[in-house]
Amino acid sequence: MKKYILGIALVLGLFQSCKQDRSKVRNENVGGALGTSYSIISISSGKLDLQKDIDSVFAVINQSLSTYIPESDISRINNGDTTVVVDRMFQEVLDLSKSIHKETNGFFDPTVGTLVNAWGFGPERQISMDSLKIDSLLNYVGLNKITLDDINHIVKDNPNIYLDFNAIAKGYAIDRLAAMLDAKGIENYLIEVGGELVAKGKNTIKDKFWIVGIDDPEMEVNRSTKILIHLNDRALASSGNYRKFRIDEKTGKKFVHTVNPKTGYTQVSNTLAVTILADNCATADAYATALMAMNIEDAFALVEVNKRLEAYIIYLDENGETKEFSTEGFKALVVK
């Protein structure tokens, strides 16, 4: 389930400000991590030095969950090391993945990493794909084929099963950063990593709400904001395939770089972009990916019945015209 990030523009302080509160300090930490960039804005009563804490969160996430680091726990497990005792973070991500796997009827599946690699979208070697090879690789797909034993070893039904948490790990990392800020008593912050966000409180210096802009997926060269929304005490994640696709020369169908764990093929889709709001970013991250792998009708149905989520979906109808779908809760957050 390789996904490409829908850009998120941070737009802070769009409302008329009241008198600035000069007793508050705006702290900002920016840098690179998890193969992308991050920006963390926090408001406090005095200047804070958070960089070591931020670096520490990213370091432990990488050590546990990064498939791009050969000596990480997940890489060792994927390479057949059965002695790895996974940490609490790995367990939490696995547990949440199993829950979302069930709720999405298998469309969110971190064991699809075998196919992601085979199609050339992951860290491992691409191979030549045909229907027989796909059928063979599908034997290694299915989160029910992964269990955790009593001493926290990962047990696979088949040693060739490849775990890839990249469609949930970034969101989880943001949640860990938020937990770190919460533990320090910071009540107002905005965390952004690679276009995914968690917001808490507001910009109390200028008495302004946190506002974020969602990119227009049809602007392939110059970024343009599609809509602006309030993001208060919620997490947001987006996924889009609008810049990464190929067109079948015979049928004219679009094949996006999202692998369908049901079929093993890259997904044929009219969905341009999905944005999900949830109580935590790992959940938003995983659902945004799952909805890109579904057909559009199933995606609509899922977010309509799951009241823990709010969604904004941009898609093409049967006539090729761009349409938008929003849940009622999402509509209420749009800046008029």
Radius of gyration from C-alpha coordinates of the chain: 20
What is the sign of the dihedral through the CA atoms of 162, 167, 168 and 171? positive
| DSSP state letters, 152-209 | SBEEESSTT-----TTTHHHHHHHHHHHHHHHTT--EEEEEETTEEEEES-BTTTTB-
Tens-digit pLDDT profile for residues 297-332 = 999 999 999 999 999 999 988 888 989 999 999 999
Across the chain, the runs of DSSP E, i.e. the strands, are: 8-10, 25-33, 36-44, 146-148, 154-156, 188-193, 196-200, 211-215, 225-230, 234-240, 245-247, 254-259, 266-268, 271-278, 310-316, 322-326
pLDDT tens digit sequence for 215-272: 777 655 556 678 999 999 999 999 886 555 555 566 565 555 678 888 888 766 788 8
CA distance 63 to 246: 34
What pLDDT digit, counting tens, does each position of 36-95 carry?
A: 999 999 999 999 999 999 999 999 999 999 999 999 999 999 999 999 999 999 999 999
CA angle 150, 151, 153 (to 5 degrees): 100
CATH of domain 68-156: 1.10.3980.10
pTM: 0.87
Burial class of residue 91 in the structure, from the number of CB atoms within 10 Å of its CB (0-12 exposed, 13-18 middle, 19+ buried): middle
- Give the pairing of strands 310-316 and 322-326: antiparallel
